[in-house]
Amino acid sequence: MAIAGTGTEFVSMVAEEIVSGIDHAVEYWLGRIEQELADASLTTLEQVHATQRILREYKEVTGKSQIICASA
């Protein structure tokens, strides 16, 4: 019984670490986008271009050529 409990605790601990890493990554990328959109010194077009640059960088870093859009 102790082994099963320990295994479950280990899986939970690993899952929490994975969730924490995902949350950190999402906050990083969304924070970068938010920072550009909140920059009052940029025109709307410059904000769009800055956001596009961040998306290109994300695709390069992750190796993804497409981003799957969530349905509304």
Q: Are 57 and 46 in contact (CB under 8 A)?
A: no
Rounded mean pLDDT of 53-67? 93
Note the pLDDT of residue 41.
98
State if pTM tops 0.85.
no
Q: Are 37 and 47 in contact (CB under 8 A)?
A: yes
pLDDT in tens, 10-53: 999 999 999 999 999 999 999 999 999 999 999 999 999 999 99
Domain spans of the chain, in order of start: 22-57
Q: How confident is the model at residue 1 (pLDDT cuts 50, 70, 90)?
A: very low
